[in-house]
Structure 1
């Protein structure tokens, strides 16, 4: 399933989940609060508290909504008011959903479902089952989501709740579409069509038309997809939904080689999205224009792609950026500008790899969610079994008093032994957990997290090649002679003081510390996850190191010695991996590393010396002073530059804001 349909289906599922809240009676919050302030403790107060919680959550004040939902829950429990208890648990779960606590949501809504079942409220049951299905769907548990959706559908059909039936049919259709089972998806979408006219709900109808259109697009039945997208466009009255509809239509028209109409739709989508601050849709419209113009109008295509790239970076539209880089690379290649084509091809590959890592993280998150849920269900099952055992014991105690007393004594002794055993196991597990966390922390201090995970899983780490990495070396001038006059304690204290600050700076800019050798410090940017901003951030980190050294000289501490530092930087390909089986270490190799070391050796105190390779990447952002061609050991003549200051502050500010540096 492509990205755009995935986003659309999630939005549909979320809309259906919240529809019962969004169209509830608009009760004024201040009026409800005045009723609550009366302090009356009856079932009407429970209803008021639940209504207040539901109304407040529409203002996105999640914390306050949760407070009132819990007050309703507490009062409903005291009054044994089942219906109020069911709705309070439902509202608690909704607040937890907004907070992202999905296991807590399942717990609250499962309890709410039980309360609705106890009072035989079939409408409440159908709604809660549908909501539970949406939770499983959002966490990637499609099988469980389908089970709940089908149960909700069965209940809704029996009680002739046409609205909930229609919602659930759309949910099931969307779920099957995500699993690429298009025939089953169309089966449920067609069932929804039976309710379409009698409900006359524009939002549900729009979701149906767009969903079916997307299925036909994926099946490459472009005439059918065009019909459904056009019907959605003509029937929709909500302006904020129009831009996405137009973009879908333009893609179909491009497939049918109707470029002129595709351009008209994309331009209209662009204007609507821009007017309504729908920035993601602006990016998609521009990317579509770039694709349409690619064959016939090189300048227009590049202009659209570039504008899309700028906004895409600003809002971190990662999937769109991947497609934009791919489109730019192909457009430049068609124009025989192979230098730019190669540049954007590299950006495309890096973005694609980054998205792959994010999708892998999402899969891991889904597996972890299922594991945590199963563990929690097992705990609940154990508690229920313990409760049953206790009830049996109580029944037996009502028999013979003597036997009861004897049983109580035996249970007491058994419980005492179990408690001691429990405490022993608990303490043992606590110690094991502490040691495990200590080992994890130590391992992550030695290796990057990705590398540490690979080592734990496979027992070894495969070497990896990175096409573009920036390497930095630092070294203290005259450190060997200087160290002779220091005690061991003073020497270690000084080095630790400087290197600890270097570690903080590298962590701030997302650089990876590789190792220290004596008074030399080595780090790299652009690994273990490939990025395109590492040369700029590495130079910013170098500036901060130089500033720190100068500030230390002005604010000298008794335990810290004043030192001058040389810095050298180079960019290029490297190989990274873990060496050794005992006292292993993460390291990098290659000519790029050797050149970076030479840049440091030939630098001056307090200066940042960069190679020609790095200079070509950063020359438009930083002011650099050409040093000329200098003889380099084992390398011959090389060009070098001192970085003297910042040229494009706006670019760097935007770069840092995206990654929240500082």
Structure 2
């Protein structure tokens, strides 16, 4: 059984301590290995192999855990022991899930579910469907996750398994919390609470109470949040969650305005984190503690932030540095040290950009998972269709053999058969042509036409170097703030509106769109066939984007969010090609791409910022404004120019 928690809901799995390796667990592994080597090849041996696979996974021996689960599956299949087969597939899926191989986990758990359904095993179905819900939750597919959790809850209720029902209710509550539907989240957490009262399990009770505390804090009901966090504290005083509980109590007291109580809780949390060597919790406690001393004690605040910075860097994670550098910049500014404030403001901006890229990568992985899942579903549908066709052919053949014994009806049956075959062939050909056209259109949407033809002909695409292309980046100003405050449907609708228009503009100027990354739009002029007007087409496309954004703001559409935009352009050599064989994607690489991205990040709202290399190509045709040399991360000082107006028309 696996339980998923997003960071906002306490961020650890239930019973994590039970999964930690230890001496007694190693002894049990050795004991089971002895039984495997000497025992009979029967259903009891299948169960032993499955138990051994679970222990090996908990002991982080993942390769051996998968190998053992495979042996259990092989033996169970030879014995036609379906329940053993189902649990073997479940165990191997858990290892793949822990590795982040979600599609492999999905394969194993889907097969496991089919086996449990055929037995039938109600509790096994509840468990696997719950795991599938967690898989979709982790991949960011919240509707599918919720659907699986609700199905799992139905089977758990049918099996009258209170423990399984409790874990599923936690997952449903967490999803509604992520969707900001706090009343529904509380409804499912409260259902969970009614069951935990009878289970006598402090860890489940702890997560129930801390989940409620989190939801009420997000709702702004700090008194209720404080109540539940205080109730949870004595239940987890000997667990890793104790430090987090103290930190949250300090955070809520700070929101209420009781600074002394907040400092007291945060100091206790800091001592607990240090004593238990919890580096992450140490940083999470120091950040709010530093903020409390920003106004009153400059030296103490700075020392606290510097300790947090040191611990964060030891963990080799940049996620906390954003808050640390922001706090240090604010502290220096409050006390008049403006040079230091500016220095840490620069570090804050750099870490924020880095964190945004990490979050974007997570979103891309989630979208890639959905895309790969859709392809798998299409493959399954195709196999089912082929099986239906084969079954039809076999049935028709039997009918023809039977008809040979009846001479009187032979001609009639033959004519009917020929007619059906003609109709079937015609319909099948139409389906094949339709699917072929669909595949062609889909491929051309993903890849340039020349690249798509090469991929179809040779099965792969050679990487190509282009000596001079023009790369263009756009980015919406303040998008992160919009994303936090807007409803998901409104945000997606607005981004789709702008990007759809961008696609039209790129097609008009024969500029190749490469990809979108969150709210960033990336394209290149000069692919796949370079031309003498490439740079001018890119600049004209940029002007039209700016004009479109300004016109959109003037229309004041109430159903769409209005953004400002930054644009950056750079010209130079790149390498282009297709990455992967099954999950292929067309992309470009090179320093030219990185500089184009930096041009965008250093641009201003409504402005087109270009590099020196692009300026040298267009300076005679466009009125450009020299901005001076600007410091660029990892590049040093670079000359930049704003493109203001066009002198002459050089596009044919």
TM-score between both structures, scaled by the size of structure 1? 0.65
**Mapping of residues 153-552 of structure 1, within 5 Å:** 153-401=153-401, 431-432=454-455, 438=461, 442=465, 453=515, 454-456=521-523, 513=591, 527=598
Residue matched to 1:571? none
Q: Does 1:82 align with 2:112?
A: no
* Structure 1 contact 240–272 (Cα < 8 Å) conserved: no
1:229-252, CA deviations, whole angstroms, 9 ceiling, x for partnerless residues? Answer: 111112223342111111111111
Partner SS for 1:180:
coil
Shift of the 455–297 alpha-carbon distance from structure 1 to 2, 3 Å rule, reads closer
Partner SS for 1:392:
helix
**d(CA) in 2 for partners of 1:595, 1:318:** 22
Residue matched to 1:540? none
* Structure 1 contact 126–155 (Cα < 8 Å) conserved: yes
Q: Does 1:113 align with 2:113?
A: yes
Q: CA deviation at 1:398?
A: 3.1
Stretches of structure 2 lacking an aligned partner (at least 5 in a row): 405-413, 444-451, 475-513, 516-520, 526-537, 547-564, 569-588, 603-608, 619-623, 639-652
Shift of the 445–291 alpha-carbon distance from structure 1 to 2, 3 Å rule, reads farther
* Structure 1 contact 350–530 (Cα < 8 Å) conserved: no
Q: CA deviation at 1:215?
A: 1.1
**Mapping of residues 606-625 of structure 1, within 5 Å:** none
* Structure 2 contact 473–597 (Cα < 8 Å) conserved: no
Question: Is the deviation greater in 392-401 or in 287-296?
Answer: 392-401
**d(CA) in 1 for partners of 2:472, 2:457:** 19
Shift of the 209–446 alpha-carbon distance from structure 1 to 2, 3 Å rule, reads farther
Residue matched to 2:14? 15
**Mapping of residues 19-30 of structure 1, within 5 Å:** 28-30=28-30
**Mapping of residues 534-613 of structure 1, within 5 Å:** 575-576=610-611, 579=614
Partner SS for 1:370:
helix
1:563-601, CA deviations, whole angstroms, 9 ceiling, x for partnerless residues? Answer: xxxxxxxxxxx8549849x99xxxx996666999xxxxx
**d(CA) in 1 for partners of 2:631, 2:43:** 77
* Structure 1 contact 186–212 (Cα < 8 Å) conserved: yes
1:337-393, CA deviations, whole angstroms, 9 ceiling, x for partnerless residues? Answer: 222222222222222222223222222221221121111112112212222332233
Partner SS for 1:398:
helix
* Structure 1 contact 126–153 (Cα < 8 Å) conserved: yes
* Structure 1 contact 465–575 (Cα < 8 Å) conserved: no
* Structure 1 contact 17–130 (Cα < 8 Å) conserved: no
* Structure 2 contact 566–600 (Cα < 8 Å) conserved: no
Shift of the 127–269 alpha-carbon distance from structure 1 to 2, 3 Å rule, reads same
**d(CA) in 1 for partners of 2:394, 2:264:** 78
Stretches of structure 1 lacking an aligned partner (at least 5 in a row): 468-510, 516-522, 532-573, 597-609, 614-662
Shift of the 443–242 alpha-carbon distance from structure 1 to 2, 3 Å rule, reads farther
Residue matched to 1:626? none
**d(CA) in 2 for partners of 1:169, 1:595:** 52
Partner SS for 2:180:
coil
Larger radius of gyration: 1
1:165-205, CA deviations, whole angstroms, 9 ceiling, x for partnerless residues? Answer: 11111111111001111010001111112112101111111
Residue matched to 1:567? none
**d(CA) in 2 for partners of 1:106, 1:59:** 23
Partner SS for 1:11:
coil
**d(CA) in 2 for partners of 1:436, 1:342:** 53
* Structure 2 contact 123–156 (Cα < 8 Å) conserved: yes
**d(CA) in 1 for partners of 2:14, 2:199:** 17
Shift of the 298–316 alpha-carbon distance from structure 1 to 2, 3 Å rule, reads same
1:439-498, CA deviations, whole angstroms, 9 ceiling, x for partnerless residues? Answer: 76546996789795444489756899899xxxxxxxxxxxxxxxxxxxxxxxxxxxxxxx
* Structure 2 contact 15–203 (Cα < 8 Å) conserved: no
1:187-228, CA deviations, whole angstroms, 9 ceiling, x for partnerless residues? Answer: 111111211210111111111111111111111111111111
**d(CA) in 2 for partners of 1:393, 1:512:** 54
Q: CA deviation at 1:316?
A: 3.8
Q: Does 1:42 align with 2:42?
A: yes
Q: CA deviation at 1:525?
A: 12
Q: CA deviation at 1:290?
A: 0.6
Shift of the 595–144 alpha-carbon distance from structure 1 to 2, 3 Å rule, reads closer
**d(CA) in 1 for partners of 2:230, 2:343:** 39
* Structure 1 contact 27–55 (Cα < 8 Å) conserved: no
* Structure 2 contact 102–135 (Cα < 8 Å) conserved: yes
Shift of the 325–271 alpha-carbon distance from structure 1 to 2, 3 Å rule, reads same
Q: CA deviation at 1:328?
A: 1.4
* Structure 1 contact 62–98 (Cα < 8 Å) conserved: no
Give the aligned length. 497
Shift of the 328–25 alpha-carbon distance from structure 1 to 2, 3 Å rule, reads closer
Residue matched to 2:148? 148
Shift of the 402–108 alpha-carbon distance from structure 1 to 2, 3 Å rule, reads same
1:113-138, CA deviations, whole angstroms, 9 ceiling, x for partnerless residues? Answer: 11111111111111111110000000
Q: CA deviation at 1:111?
A: 0.8
* Structure 1 contact 17–134 (Cα < 8 Å) conserved: no
Shift of the 56–355 alpha-carbon distance from structure 1 to 2, 3 Å rule, reads same
Residue matched to 1:70? 70
Partner SS for 1:319:
coil
**d(CA) in 2 for partners of 1:127, 1:152:** 7
CA RMSD, 1 decimal: 4.6
Q: CA deviation at 1:304?
A: 0.6
Shift of the 180–316 alpha-carbon distance from structure 1 to 2, 3 Å rule, reads farther
Q: CA deviation at 1:58?
A: 1.0
Shift of the 187–438 alpha-carbon distance from structure 1 to 2, 3 Å rule, reads same
* Structure 1 contact 10–138 (Cα < 8 Å) conserved: no
